Structure 1
Amino acid sequence: MAGISVWQLLIVLAIVLLLFGSKKLKNIGSDLGFAIKGFNKSLKDEESTAEEEKTNISVNKLSQTEDSKRKV
């Protein structure tokens, strides 16, 4: 069992193409691409939100230390 050869992959691809048809496979591919794009966008949004929160926390701590220095 050395793995799957190119010929085996081509046979499986031909069978899948016969079962589902090219139009159905195209729709599945575009839906999958749209889902991956949405997932990546949500990851980037989450990262930017986390970075903004981190920056806000740093600014708040800095302003609190400046306020405490002014009081003294």
Structure 2
Amino acid sequence: MRALRSIALVATTLFLLIGCGRNKSDSTANSNKVRVGYIGITCEAPIFTAVEKGFFKEEGLDVSLVKCEWANYKD
């Protein structure tokens, strides 16, 4: 029983170390691109203000605004 517990502990430790040591050099891993959908109503003004003033860029986000159709989202 003690040997089984030791093997499980070693295996778990190895899996954790292997998972933590992954190389994140892939372009998708470092990508901070975000698409923000808008429908063109006044409550969305803060989104446009944040883009214009560069608030998203300050946080390391590359935001693109995508116009959506209201008919697809209304009740």
Query: Does the TM-score normalized on the shorter chain lie above 0.5?
Result: no
Q: Max radius of gyration: which structure?
A: 1
More strand by share: 2
Compare relative contact order (CA 8 Å, sep 6+) and give the higher one, 1 or 2: 2
TM-score (norm 1): 0.35
